[in-house]
Amino acid sequence: MTSVPLHALGWSEAYAQAAREAIAAASPEVRPSLEPGRVASTGRTSMQVWTAGGPEEASLPGSLRHAAAGGRMLPVIGDWVIVQRPAEPPLRIVEVLPRRTSFARAVQGGLTEQVIAANVDVVFIVTTPDLDFDLPRLGRYVAAVQLSGARPVVLLNKVDAVRDVSPFAEAVAGLSPDLPVHAVSAAVGQGLDALRPYFGEGVTVALIGSSGVGKSTLTNRLLGREAATTGAVRDLDGQGRHTTTTRTLYRLPGGGLLIDNPGLRDIAVWDAGAGGSRFGVIEELATRCRYRGCTHRTEPGCAVRRAVERGEIGADLVVAYAEAQGLSPRKSRRR
């Protein structure tokens, strides 16, 4: 995948207007080196940005990181940004354009809010007609998605495994007027044609749902061959080591964009906003643990224990968190 017109990535007149203003505000010498792009993946110090020329690595200057104290205007997945093209790569992100929609969650006990994805149009809330099915919880996600400015759509996946999905579909439909519900099977490929109309040109769809409901299977199905070409960019972590950041904004073969981002897809993030926000800081750290489902006890590469060792968070908070989660030592999965 190389050169792509910006409107296929979701570019619109409102962003164009904001971009013109941002570029006009720069000094005349700098102006010619500025152009817009969309954030396709995020690491701690570098990101992948899609410009008119294709996906490229971009760095986040320290000045922008400091200006963004509180996290509000740090670039996140889905953001439109202005980048500067120096003589030598990488690109430098100089400004985040105003967001049309944003998903934020409260962190640090509700003191600040952290945006996790921007400019999403439609959110597929994925669940299954089995033990994962929890109507009150679904209701909270539907409300959270509506609050963000995006449109919620509920997917009942794994319908191949149940005899009758209609009671589940009816219960979901009762949550909110005009809430679309689709019964699908990502594994078998059933019902997926009904999802294609959501992926209009430049429309950005994001996936959320508990672990195991089939988000990866669905992503691969929707992407078809492109799934195999998932890009990765190299990133330097706090210790100067290289880590890998996987691109999580994908273009679908038939048009439209799909965000499948670990920080967004994990439903625990959304529950944090609903009640346990004093644990938000731990959940934020946990997204950087080497193992998904890390219990923050003995696993190598645990970002939560590292933060305790550095004195950034108290050990008592971690204990309280584990108790609240009912975490027992269990097998964690390598990401």
- Can you give the binding site for Zn ion, defined by CB under 5 A? 289, 294, 296, 302, 304
Cβ at position 236, least distance to Zn ion in Å: 21
Give the residue nearest to ligand GTP (CB). 214
Residue 158 known to bind ligand? yes
Between 30 and 161, whose beta carbon lies closer to ligand GTP?
161
Interface with ligand GTP: number of residues (CB under 6 A):
16
Between 85 and 296, whose beta carbon lies closer to Zn ion?
296
- Which region among 13-21, 112-120, 158-166, 167-175 touches ligand GTP (by CB under 6 A)? 158-166
Q: How far is CA 200 from CA 98, 109, 253, 289, 315, in A?
A: 22, 38, 11, 35, 48
Q: How far is CA 42 from CA 158, 246, 325, in A?
A: 31, 8, 28
Cis amide linkage into residue 90, ω under 30° from 0: yes
Cβ at position 187, least distance to ligand GTP in Å: 3
Residue 210 known to bind ligand? yes
Q: 172: part of which helix (H) or strand (E)? A: helix 166-173
CB 3 within 8 Å of CB 54: yes
DSSP one-letter string for 118-166: ES--EEEEEE-SSTT--HHHHHHHHHHHHHHTPEEEEEE--GGG-S--H
Between 206 and 318, whose beta carbon lies closer to Zn ion?
318
258 binds ligand GTP (CB under 6 A): no
63 binds ligand GTP (CB under 6 A): no
Q: Which three-class secondary structure string do you get for 71-89?
A: CCCCCCCCCEEEEECCCCC
Between 214 and 256, whose beta carbon lies closer to ligand GTP?
214
Q: 15: part of which helix (H) or strand (E)? A: helix 13-24
Cα(73)–Cα(107) distance, rounded to whole angstroms? 15
Between 63 and 211, whose beta carbon lies closer to ligand GTP?
211
Q: What is the residue whose two structure tokens read 């890998």?
A: 244
287 binds ligand GTP (CB under 6 A): no
Q: Which of 160, 201, 226, 299 binds ligand GTP (CB under 6 A)?
A: 160
Residues 194-253 that bind ligand GTP (CB under 6 A): 209, 211-217
Residue 182 known to bind ligand? no
DSSP state of 190: B
**Which ranges constitute the DSSP H helices of 60-133?**
62-67
Residue 233 known to bind ligand? no
Residues that bind ligand GTP (CB under 6 A): 157-158, 160-161, 185-188, 209, 211-217
Annotated binding site for GTP: 157-160, 209-217
